[in-house]
């Protein structure tokens, strides 16, 4: 395997990890107004349980996006430059959504005021729905291809990105993430909140599987190779197991299945893309590929050594974090008003 191919595979792994881990964070944010309604007497406590469930890990999960973007910039500068100029507006909106979400999560408990918390909840919702939709649209367009000229410049407009395949990708990402989040909450909570999360996962299991299957089939038939049917099969089996886990109320099984399904879906997009990194719909001769967008061999060698050393450290640290905060959370163990860091509130609300 060449270093160029190795780094394409590593970029794929980094984005797979991001979508698997950050996916349930987005799902929890999208479910916040439904599982923690303001009209309920314990609505604020329920919302704090939802946020506490992701509190110790959500910022660590975003490290995979930062690392993936950095690896893309360093290893494939040409891919990075063209893609970020073509998707400037969608990526800007994703960034704004992520910033609003960060601020809302961190500042929600700083002021004991109902309206303050309500507006923070709006920010969390906006910062969850918007990136979920736009990530699906962006990655679908990367696979489909965009108008690129001989100078590797994007020659289309914003509405070129809103094609049926890309919109289906956005819908798929939203449904998969919200189902992923519901299953995660069923795994992390107790009592009525756990039951409500299970009910949401149960209602979403079939529609999510149907939409995701349509997207996978379209991707495979239009852009796939013979061997990539194996990746489709893995995603389909995982989706079936997720549905079975939801109906049997086996949230551990269902959560593992959604992780595999998301990994296989994102992995399929990278598999059908290779050896291209950004196809041109103008002329195949203008395709951006692994070969013509990669950095120098020396740069890739240095990056490879850094990755070999640092990646195991990141995995060990993040795995330790998930282990420490593995307890289920209960509404009755949440104090009347927040203000504590989410990690401390998670420790107090947890039950071994």
Write out the H or E segment, with its range, that includes residue 277.
Answer: strand 276-278
Q: Does the pLDDT at position 342 exceed 80? A: no
For the segment 90-96, the average pLDDT, to the nearest whole number, is 93
The torsion angles phi and psi of 150, rounded to 5 degrees, stand at -65, -25
- CB proximity list for 253: less than 8 A, separation 6 or greater: 241, 244, 245
Question: Six-digit token pair at 49?
Answer: 């349980």
What is the pLDDT at residue 331?
80
Q: What integer best gives the mean pLDDT of the chain?
A: 89
- CB proximity list for 255: less than 8 A, separation 6 or greater: 180, 183, 184, 186, 187, 245
| Torsion angle of C-alpha atoms 321, 178, 64, 350, degrees rounded to 10 | -10
Query: 352 or 110: which carries more pLDDT confidence?
Result: 110
What is the pLDDT at residue 80?
92
Residue 154's DSSP bridge partners are: 148
- CB proximity list for 157: less than 8 A, separation 6 or greater: none
DSSP state of 285: G
- Threshold 0.85, pTM exceeds: yes
- Tens of pLDDT, residues 166-187: 999 999 999 999 999 999 999 9
SS3 assignment, position 249: coil
For the segment 259-265, the average pLDDT, to the nearest whole number, is 96
Q: Does the pLDDT at position 138 exceed 80? A: yes
Residue 350's DSSP bridge partners are: 329
For the segment 234-256, the average pLDDT, to the nearest whole number, is 93
Query: 192 or 339: which carries more pLDDT confidence?
Result: 192
Q: Does the pLDDT at position 339 exceed 70? A: no
Least confident of 152-166, 173-187, 211-225: 152-166
- CB proximity list for 11: less than 8 A, separation 6 or greater: 68, 71, 72, 75, 76, 270
Whole-angstrom distance, CA of residue 218 vs CA of residue 65? 26
Contact assessment for residue 135 and residue 87, using Cβ atoms and an 8 Å cutoff = no
CA nearest 350: which of 328, 323, 334? 328
Contact assessment for residue 144 and residue 165, using Cβ atoms and an 8 Å cutoff = yes
Tally helices (H) and strands (E) across the chain: 14, 4
């Amino acid at each position: 395997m060449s270093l160029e191919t190795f780094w394409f595979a590593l970029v794929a792994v980094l984005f797979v990890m991001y979508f698997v881990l950050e996916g349930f964070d987005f799902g929890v944010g999208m479910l916040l107004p439904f599982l923690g309604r303001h009209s309920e007497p314990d609505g604020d406590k329920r919302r704090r349980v939802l946020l506490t469930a992701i509190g110790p890990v959500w910022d660590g999960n975003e490290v995979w996006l930062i690392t993936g973007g950095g690896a893309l910039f360093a290893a494939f500068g040409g891919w990075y430059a063209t893609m970020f100029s073509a998707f400037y507006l969608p990526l800007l909106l994703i960034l704004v959504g992520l910033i609003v979400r960060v601020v809302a999560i961190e500042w929600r408990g700083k002021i004991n005021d109902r309206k303050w918390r309500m507006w923070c909840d709006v920010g969390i919702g906006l910062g969850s729905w918007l990136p979920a939709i736009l990530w699906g649209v962006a990655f679908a367009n990367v696979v489909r291809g965009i108008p690129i000229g001989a100078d590797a410049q994007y020659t289309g407009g914003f509405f070129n990105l809103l094609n049926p395949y890309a919109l289906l990708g956005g819908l798929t990402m939203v449904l998969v993430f919200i189902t992923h989040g519901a299953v995660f909450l069923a795994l992390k909570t107790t009592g009525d909140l756990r039951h409500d999360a299970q009910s949401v996962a149960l209602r979403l299991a079939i529609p999510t599987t149907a939409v995701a299957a349509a997207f996978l089939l379209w991707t495979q038939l239009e852009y796939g190779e013979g061997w990539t049917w194996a990746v489709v099969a893995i995603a389909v089996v995982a989706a079936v197991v997720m549905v079975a886990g939801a109906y049997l109320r086996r949230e551990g099984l269902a959560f593992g299945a959604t992780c595999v399904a998301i990994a296989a879906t994102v992995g399929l997009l990278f598999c059908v893309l290779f050896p291209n990194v950004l196809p041109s719909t103008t002329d195949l001769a203008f395709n951006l590929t692994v070969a013509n967008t990669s950095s120098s061999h020396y740069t890739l060698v240095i990056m490879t050594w850094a990755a070999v050393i640092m990646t195991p450290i990141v995995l060990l640290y993040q795995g330790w974090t998930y282990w420490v905060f593995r307890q289920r959370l209960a509404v009755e163990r949440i104090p009347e008003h927040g203000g504590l860091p989410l990690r401390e509130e998670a420790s107090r609300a947890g039950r071994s």
